[in-house]
Amino acid sequence: MTAVPSTVARRAETLRDELDRLNEAYHTLDAPLVADAEYDVLFRELQAIEDQHPDLRTDDSPTRRVGGAPRADLPTVEHEVPMLSLANAFDEAGIVAFDRRVTEALGVDEGTVEYAVEPKFDGLAVTLRYEDGLLTRAATRGDGSVGEDVTPNAKTIASIPLRLKGRHPPALLDIRGEVLMFHADFDAINARQREAGAREFVNPRNAAAGSLRQLDQRITASRPLRFFAYGVGRFDAGSSGVAMPTRHSALLDWYRTLGVPVAADRAVVRGGAGLLAFHDRIGKARAGLPYDIDGVVYKVDDVDAQRRLGFVSRAPRFAIAHKFPAAEATTTIETIDVQVGRTGAITPVARLAPVFVGGVTVTNATLHNEDEIRRKDIRIGDAVVVRRAGDVIPEVLRVLFERRPASAVEYALPTACPVCGSAIVREDGEAVARCSGGLVCAAQRKQALLHFARRRAMDIDGLGAKVVDQLVARDLVRTPADLFALDQPGVAALDRMADKSATNLIDAIARAKRTTFARFLYALGIRHVGEEVARVLAREFGGLDALLDADWTALMERKRTVQKENAGRRSKGEGLLPVPLEGIGDEIVQALAQFLAEPHNRRAIERLREAGIVWPEAEGTVLRVDVPDTAHAGKRGPLSGKTFVLTGSLQDLTRDDAKAKLEEAGGRVSASVSR
Ligand code: IVH
Residue of the CA atom closest to atom 18 of ligand 1: 120
121 Cβ inside 6 Å of ligand 1: yes
Lowest mean pLDDT among 225-234, 383-392, 634-643: 634-643
600 CA to middle of ligand 1, Å?
61
Enzyme catalytic residues: 120
Comparing C-alpha atoms, which of 185, 243, 191, 237 is closest to residue 211? Answer: 185
Residue of the CA atom closest to atom 14 of ligand 1: 230
293 Cβ inside 6 Å of ligand 1: no
pLDDT, one tens digit per residue, over 106-143 is 999 999 999 999 999 999 999 999 999 999 999 999 88
Task: State how far the Cα of 513 lies from the Cα of 613, in Å rounded to an integer.
Answer: 4
Atom number in ligand 1 closest to CA 88: 7
3-state secondary structure 92-139: HHHHHHHHHHHHHHHCCCCCCCEEEEEEEECCEEEEEEEECCEEEEEE
- The whole-number pLDDT of residue 489 equals 94
Residue of the CA atom closest to atom 15 of ligand 1: 120
Whether residue 326 is predicted with pLDDT greater than 90 in this model: the reply is no
231 Cβ inside 6 Å of ligand 1: yes
85 Cβ inside 6 Å of ligand 1: yes
155 CA to middle of ligand 1, Å?
21
Whether residue 623 is predicted with pLDDT greater than 50 in this model: the reply is no
Whether residue 255 is predicted with pLDDT greater than 80 in this model: the reply is yes
- The whole-number pLDDT of residue 636 equals 62
123 Cβ inside 6 Å of ligand 1: no
- Cβ proximity of 303 and 318 under 8 Å: no
Atom number in ligand 1 closest to CA 321: 7
Domains observed in the chain? 6-64 (1.10.287.610), 84-323 (3.30.470.30), 328-410 (2.40.50.140), 460-511 (1.10.150.20), 517-635 (1.10.150.20), 636-675 (no CATH)
pLDDT bin (cut points 50, 70, 90) of residue 388 is confident
Round the average pLDDT of the chain to a whole number and report it.
Answer: 88
Lowest mean pLDDT among 134-143, 200-209, 230-239, 258-267: 200-209
- The whole-number pLDDT of residue 619 equals 43
Q: How large is the C-alpha radius of gyration of the chain?
A: 33
- β-strands 293-300, 643-646: how paired? unpaired
What DSSP assignment string belongs to 536-585?
Answer: HHHHHH-SHHHHHT--HHHHHHHHHHHHHHHHHHHHTTPPPPPPTTTT--
Whether residue 229 is predicted with pLDDT greater than 90 in this model: the reply is yes
Task: State how far the Cα of 69 lies from the Cα of 242, in Å rounded to an integer.
Answer: 36
Task: State how far the Cα of 379 lies from the Cα of 406, in Å rounded to an integer.
Answer: 11
- The whole-number pLDDT of residue 269 equals 97
Residue of the CA atom closest to atom 3 of ligand 1: 230
Question: Who wins on pLDDT, 655 or 569?
Answer: 569
Whether residue 673 is predicted with pLDDT greater than 60 in this model: the reply is no
- The whole-number pLDDT of residue 68 equals 61
143 CA to middle of ligand 1, Å?
14
324 CA to middle of ligand 1, Å?
15
Burial class of residue 261 in the structure, from the number of CB atoms within 10 Å of its CB (0-12 exposed, 13-18 middle, 19+ buried): middle
86 CA to middle of ligand 1, Å?
6
297 Cβ inside 6 Å of ligand 1: yes
- The whole-number pLDDT of residue 470 equals 95
Task: Please state the rounded mean pLDDT for residues 532-537.
Answer: 91
- The whole-number pLDDT of residue 537 equals 93
- The whole-number pLDDT of residue 622 equals 46
- Cβ proximity of 336 and 151 under 8 Å: no
Atom number in ligand 1 closest to CA 316: 2
Q: Which residue of 118, 121, 205 sits with most ligand 1 atoms within 8 Å of its CB, as the best mutation to test the pocket? A: 121
205 Cβ inside 6 Å of ligand 1: no
pLDDT bin (cut points 50, 70, 90) of residue 234 is very high
125 Cβ inside 6 Å of ligand 1: yes
316 Cβ inside 6 Å of ligand 1: yes
- The whole-number pLDDT of residue 86 equals 93
Q: Which residue of 43, 120, 124 sits with most ligand 1 atoms within 8 Å of its CB, as the best mutation to test the pocket? A: 120
Task: Please state the rounded mean pLDDT for residues 82-95.
Answer: 92
Task: Please state the rounded mean pLDDT for residues 369-398.
Answer: 89
Question: Who wins on pLDDT, 45 or 296?
Answer: 296
- Top-confidence range, 3-12, 44-53, 225-234: 225-234
Share of the chain above pLDDT 90, in %: 59
252 CA to middle of ligand 1, Å?
14
Contacts within 8 Å (CB) and 24+ apart, 473-482: 473/442, 477/445, 477/449, 478/439, 478/445, 479/439, 479/445, 479/448, 479/604, 479/607, 480/448, 480/449, 480/452, 480/523, 480/604, 480/608, 481/604, 481/607, 481/608, 481/610, 481/611
321 Cβ inside 6 Å of ligand 1: yes
What are the φ/ψ torsions at residue 617 (nearest 5 degrees)?
-55, -25
- Cβ proximity of 283 and 324 under 8 Å: yes
pLDDT bin (cut points 50, 70, 90) of residue 268 is very high
Lowest mean pLDDT among 472-476, 613-617, 621-625: 621-625
- The whole-number pLDDT of residue 37 equals 76
Q: Which residue of 65, 122, 205, 297 sits with most ligand 1 atoms within 8 Å of its CB, as the best mutation to test the pocket? A: 297
86 Cβ inside 6 Å of ligand 1: yes
Q: Which residue of 126, 145, 178 sits with most ligand 1 atoms within 8 Å of its CB, as the best mutation to test the pocket? A: 178
Atom number in ligand 1 closest to CA 141: 10
pLDDT, one tens digit per residue, over 271-321 is 999 999 999 999 988 888 999 999 999 999 999 999 999 988 778 999 999
Task: Please state the rounded mean pLDDT for residues 566-576.
Answer: 89
Task: Please state the rounded mean pLDDT for residues 81-97.
Answer: 92
- Cβ proximity of 426 and 436 under 8 Å: no
Task: Please state the rounded mean pLDDT for residues 228-248.
Answer: 96
Atom number in ligand 1 closest to CA 263: 15
175 CA to middle of ligand 1, Å?
12
Which residue type occupies 546?
Answer: A
Task: Please state the rounded mean pLDDT for residues 466-483.
Answer: 93
CA atoms within 13 A on the CB side of 261: 17
542 Cβ inside 6 Å of ligand 1: no
pLDDT, one tens digit per residue, over 436-454 is 888 789 999 999 999 999 9
Task: Please state the rounded mean pLDDT for residues 205-229.
Answer: 90
Atom number in ligand 1 closest to CA 120: 12
Task: Please state the rounded mean pLDDT for residues 479-496.
Answer: 94
Residue of the CA atom closest to atom 21 of ligand 1: 125
Q: What is the pTM of this model?
A: 0.57
pLDDT bin (cut points 50, 70, 90) of residue 6 is confident
Lowest mean pLDDT among 39-48, 281-290, 440-449, 615-624: 615-624
pLDDT, one tens digit per residue, over 508-532 is 999 999 999 999 999 999 988 998 8
- The whole-number pLDDT of residue 667 equals 75
Burial class of residue 423 in the structure, from the number of CB atoms within 10 Å of its CB (0-12 exposed, 13-18 middle, 19+ buried): exposed
Lowest mean pLDDT among 10-24, 234-248, 656-670: 656-670
Residue of the CA atom closest to atom 13 of ligand 1: 125
85 CA to middle of ligand 1, Å?
6
Lowest mean pLDDT among 15-29, 44-58, 106-120: 15-29
- The whole-number pLDDT of residue 631 equals 38
- The whole-number pLDDT of residue 70 equals 66
Task: Please state the rounded mean pLDDT for residues 190-209.
Answer: 87
- Cβ proximity of 515 and 496 under 8 Å: no
